[in-house]
Amino acid sequence: MSETAGTVFVGDSITASGRWDEWFPEDRTRNLGVGGDTTDAVIARLDEVVALQPDTIVLLIGTNDLAWRRSAEHIVRNIETILVTLRKALPGAQLLVQSVMPREAAYADTIKDVNRHLWQFASTVRAQYLDLWPVLAGPDGAIDPDCSDDSLHLTDRGYEAWLSELRGALETLHDVPPTSRPILLPKEHMRHRH
């Protein structure tokens, strides 16, 4: 019998460092976070995700693309490709795409641009969108220093902030059919872009 998973977490080192079994003990989790991964790298290993036949896929990817000076367009196009590929291969799975997390303030405009496109695109592939910007970003658009020591990786406080949003999003996701409306968490800050 092939190995299956309930909830698969796909991403880079931020996902890889998550204690998903501990945080979601009922969900038969699998951690497919790989340190240093870019959107291109995730596309290259989507077969691994599909092979697990998960009920739910939680995606967080894109911040390492910024370090490689990839454009917002490149990141958005690749994440859209990931979501389309997963939706075709796993038509019954629940998909949750998370906003790219803030990092140094210099990246804020690019990240906001990426996230706005992901928010708009998610519902076209029956994916839910979870906006993490409000709980992680400081007023200047940089990641809150309480949440990260290096403006990229999360501290324990950063994971707590992420989980405070992710738990509710997954509960909502598991209680609704995949064709329902996306979780629209980006409220005021999406309308008042600076």
Q: Using DSSP, state whether 87 is helix, strand or coil.
A: helix
pLDDT one-digit tens code per residue, 55-64: 999 999 999 9
Contacts of 83 (CB under 8 A, 6+ apart): 59, 95, 97, 121, 122, 125, 127
pLDDT tens digits, one per residue of 39-96: 999 999 999 999 999 999 999 999 999 999 999 999 999 999 999 999 999 999 999 9
pTM of the entire structure? 0.89
Domains parsed from the chain with CATH numbers: 7-185 (3.40.50.1110)
